[in-house]
Structure 1
Amino acid sequence: MKAIVIFGASSGLGLAAVRYFSDQAIPVIGVARNPEKEPDLKSLCQTLITCDATDKQSVEEAVGQLPKDAVVLSTMGSFRSDNPVDYIGHRYLVDALELNGIRRFVLVTSLGCGDSWQYLSDRAKAGFGGAVREKSLAEAWLSSSTLDYTILRPGGLKDGDVTEQGELSQQVEVHGVIHRSEVACLVHQLILNDASVGQIYECVDPTVSY
């Protein structure tokens, strides 16, 4: 892998992914609305790009700076945000990647998206169902694109080290949590596996407790 581009690099799962791939000596291009929010990004990333993913022109300008052979990972999310990025930001991103001939894209959403909605509890649907529905729309837009995509739906996210115990599954009911760093490790595995193109996976870590 020559380089990985991480959208949502300044916090949460995106920052954990930046740290993970940097530790693997893989060049990281970090993209975030406010990259200065996390001082460590300057040392961890080969390049930093400022981008407001809710602005189509900003997304197109950011994608226009990327190498054609880069792998793009998006961890963008906007739970309880007044300006949600989950659907519209990913729609702009997918369209810009297609336009610029950048093929490989990994989208991280969450358990409960798409056909896994049926497994969400009523409490979860009430608490964060709106964000899950936005992410489901992003999944639908991506899956109907021409990109070489993989979608990963992690369970509840926690801070912690890579355990190498994260489990990938498909089309079965799963519940649980997982470290952000472990999600990054699983993303790395999926990127290296050509059979993951066009696939959707769930992931949790049975060794991590709530």
Structure 2
Amino acid sequence: MTRIAVIGAHGQVGQRLLNQIYNRGDEGVGIIRNRDHGEDLVRLGAEAVLLDIENSDVEALASVLRGVDVVVFSAGAGPNSGPARKRTVDYNGSVKTAWAADLAGVERMIQVSAMGVDEPLADDTEEGWRAYVEAKRDADANLRDTDLDWTIIRPGGLTTDEGTGLVTLGDSVGRGEIPRDDVAALILAAIDDDRTIGRTFEAISGDTPIVDAIDALVR
């Protein structure tokens, strides 16, 4: 049985992921900053842990990651937040998670990033979008520089459509959308396939079953 901690557990991807973790017989640990969200995670079959990664120190986060096999970073400040919180959550939260994982002896980390964040930004890019892209870009760069067994998944536009289990994966796949259900399933498939370690790839809906798409990507 694999014990998987999810940072950003009450987000829409996080909740779907915890539900899929439970359904396949593994243990999910949802790390949340709002006590009121705990019951939602318990209903999904997860253990809820209260910890605000934005305001807690690395040692506190490491203490809740001990005994975990994999940590998934799927947190974000959200579209209504300002540029400063994009930095403190999307970037600093990821950096702190990677550091805490190392302290806790957790070797495997999956990061949910965003498509196209390595592309240059136009001079007139809106401030909030610039902050988001730069935070995701820098968080990915930091994770790549760690000694963790990392995988970075960069999904296209996220939808609430029912998952199909069919995707297109690649270093660059072009613009597209993908259901959050399929992002969650893709995270678990990446955990199951060690060949995804050290890989960064984009993901949108497609015609290929997830396991087959990963196999074609990493073989």
Kindly state the Cα deviation for residue 68 of structure 1 after the two structures are TM-superposed: 3.6
How many residues were matched structurally? Answer: 200
**Closer, same or farther in 2 for the Cα pair 1:165/1:67, shift >3 Å?**
same
Q: What are the superposed Cα offsets for residues 32-86 of structure 1, whole Å, 9 maximum, x if unpaired?
A: 11152363212324421112111242x5323312344511111101134243300
Kindly state the Cα deviation for residue 182 of structure 1 after the two structures are TM-superposed: 0.2
Kindly state the Cα deviation for residue 173 of structure 1 after the two structures are TM-superposed: 4.5
The equivalent of 2:60 in structure 1 is: 61
| Runs of 4+ residues deviating >6 angstroms | none
SS in 2 for 1:10: coil
Measure the CA separation in 1 of the matches of 2:38 and 2:133. 26
Q: TM-score, normalised by structure 2?
A: 0.83
Q: Name which of 82, 89, 92 aligns with 2:93.
A: 89
Q: What are the superposed Cα offsets for residues 166-188 of structure 1, whole Å, 9 maximum, x if unpaired?
A: 22111x24110100010011111
User: CA contact under 8 A between 1:10 and 1:35: conserved in structure 2?
Assistant: no
Q: CA RMSD in A?
A: 2.2
Amino-acid identity (%): 28
Structure 2: segments with no counterpart, 5+ residues: 208-219
Q: How does 1:66-145 map to 2 (within 5 A)?
A: 66-79=65-78, 80-82=80-82, 83-84=85-86, 85-114=89-118, 117-118=119-120, 125-126=125-126, 128-145=129-146
Q: How does 1:153-172 map to 2 (within 5 A)?
A: 153-170=154-171, 172=172
Q: Which amino acid aligns with 1:64?
A: S
Structure 1: segments with no counterpart, 5+ residues: none
User: CA contact under 8 A between 1:49 and 1:62: conserved in structure 2?
Assistant: no
Compare 132-141 and 160-169 and name the one that shifted more: 160-169
Kindly state the Cα deviation for residue 103 of structure 1 after the two structures are TM-superposed: 0.6
Measure the CA separation in 2 of the matches of 1:51 and 1:179. 28
Q: TM-score, normalised by structure 1?
A: 0.86
Q: Which amino acid aligns with 2:77?
A: S
